[in-house]
């Protein structure tokens, strides 16, 4: 826990990448911890050249894991989003992709003993108080990252990590519909603000002058669009009870369009205004939740299959999630959410933070 080096495991979790730490290996004081993490990842710097960050919000993430004091959980997982070009560390959200690596990391660090050929780890999501279970292969008492499961946005295949979520509704805002309405109007644009694991502002792509089928590179070059996205999310943040979100990565904004590759919904997501190359797990769950609301913006563009499994199209492929709602209640009740991800250990050792202040 000094500048001489910190024990760290770098892992790919889903379509994200991050540094995983035991809480006991980091300073207990949040300000000291955040200062250390900025120096470990190399922020603020657009290239994060002097740290292990990957110069993108999707690869500038941290998981802090510890044994849980909650008898219903095995481990506690605190997610921290480290900004790339600002000295900011945020704990305002969960991350379902980085979550995919938490169970294997807990076994690797001896927090959880493997149980046969497959191990299930109960995880408390410290950021929001929710919970999840992660199930993954542990033949011979060791985590096996090899497997035949492919996920869009990640080359090759790996072992499946099955994630089941509970208590997702109102994860950050306290309500599935944090504004109290299915539809709000911001800057003349109809939006649906939903929080089923991730606060998300959903709008029709065509209402913002795009098709919703652009690549993330094309969207990144549309400065006028990004300015409108920022205006939407800043105002939505206030309406959702999040206050001033100008320095936060939530709420995320997802533009929707009719699917064109066999899915239920086509999406383009921004974090906070940088186009996502795919879509986050919890963001996809919230987007599907919006599509299930009979009068919501996303419902008008969705092609909903029977059952609870939904294929969400994004810039680099597809993401399947399972979502169940009880629409007979007001607001609707989130009953269940699940997803299949993969994870892989990239390195395990000691990371050396740069000296001085970020």
Considering only residues 1 and 271, tell me which one the structure prediction assigns the higher pLDDT. 271
What does the pLDDT read at residue 358? Answer: 67
- Please state, in angstroms and rounded to a whole number, the distance separating the CA atoms of residues 80 and 130: 16
Residue 130: which of 4, 239, 286, 10 has the closest Cα? 286
Q: pLDDT digit string (tens) for 20-70?
A: 999 999 999 999 999 999 999 999 999 999 999 999 999 999 999 999 999
- Please state, in angstroms and rounded to a whole number, the distance separating the CA atoms of residues 238 and 172: 13
Q: pLDDT digit string (tens) for 141-181?
A: 999 999 999 999 999 999 999 999 988 999 999 999 999 99
Mean pLDDT of 247-259: 96
Average pLDDT value for the chain: 96
Q: pLDDT digit string (tens) for 206-234?
A: 999 999 999 999 999 999 999 999 999 99
Q: Print burial letters for 44-83: b (CB count within 10 Å at least 16), e (below 16).
A: ebeebeebbbbbbbbbbbbbbbbbbeeeebbbbbbbbbbb
Q: Are 95 and 156 in contact (CB under 8 A)?
A: no
What does the pLDDT read at residue 127? Answer: 95
State the pTM of this model. Answer: 0.85
Mean pLDDT of 238-255: 96
What does the pLDDT read at residue 2? Answer: 53
- Confidence check: pLDDT of 1 > 70: no
- Please state, in angstroms and rounded to a whole number, the distance separating the CA atoms of residues 148 and 260: 26
What does the pLDDT read at residue 159? Answer: 97
Q: Which residues pair with 67 in a beta bridge?
A: 75
What does the pLDDT read at residue 356? Answer: 81
């Amino acid at each position: 826990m000094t500048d001489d080096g910190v024990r760290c495991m770098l892992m790919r979790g889903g379509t994200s990448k991050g540094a995983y730490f035991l809480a006991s290996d980091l300073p207990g004081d949040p300000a000291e911890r955040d200062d250390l993490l900025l120096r470990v990842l190399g922020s603020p710097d657009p290239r994060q050249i002097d740290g292990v960050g990957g110069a993108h919000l999707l690869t500038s993430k941290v998981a802090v894991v510890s044994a849980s004091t909650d008898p219903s959980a095995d481990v506690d997982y605190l997610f921290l989003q480290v900004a790339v070009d600002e000295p900011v560390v945020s704990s305002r959200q969960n991350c379902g992709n980085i979550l995919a690596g938490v169970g294997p990391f807990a076994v690797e660090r001896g927090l959880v003993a493997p149980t046969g050929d497959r191990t299930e780890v109960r995880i408390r999501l410290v950021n929001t108080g929710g919970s999840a279970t992660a199930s993954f292969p542990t033949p011979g008492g060791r985590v096996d990252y090899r497997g035949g499961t492919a996920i869009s946005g990640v080359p090759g295949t790996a072992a499946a990590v099955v994630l089941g979520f509970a208590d997702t509704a109102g994860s950050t805002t306290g309500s599935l519909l944090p504004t109290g309405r299915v539809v709000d109007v911001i800057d003349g644009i109809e939006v649906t603000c939903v929080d089923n694991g991730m606060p998300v502002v959903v709008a029709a792509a065509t209402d913002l002058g795009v098709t919703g089928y652009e690549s993330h590179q094309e969207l990144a070059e549309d400065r006028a669009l990004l300015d409108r996205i920022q205006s939407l999310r800043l105002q939505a943040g206030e309406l959702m009870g999040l206050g001033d979100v100008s320095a936060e990565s939530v709420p995320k904004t997802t533009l929707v369009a009719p699917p064109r590759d066999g899915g239920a919904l086509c999406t383009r997501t921004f974090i906070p205004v940088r186009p996502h190359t795919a879509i986050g797990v919890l963001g996809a769950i919230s987007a599907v939740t919006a599509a299930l609301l009979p009068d919501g913006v996303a419902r008008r563009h969705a092609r909903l299959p029977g059952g609870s499994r939904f294929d969400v199209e994004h810039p680099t492929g597809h993401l399947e999630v399972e979502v169940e709602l009880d629409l007979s209640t007001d607001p609707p009740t989130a009953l269940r959410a699940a997803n299949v991800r993969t994870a892989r250990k990239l390195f395990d050792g000691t990371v050396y933070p740069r000296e001085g202040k970020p």
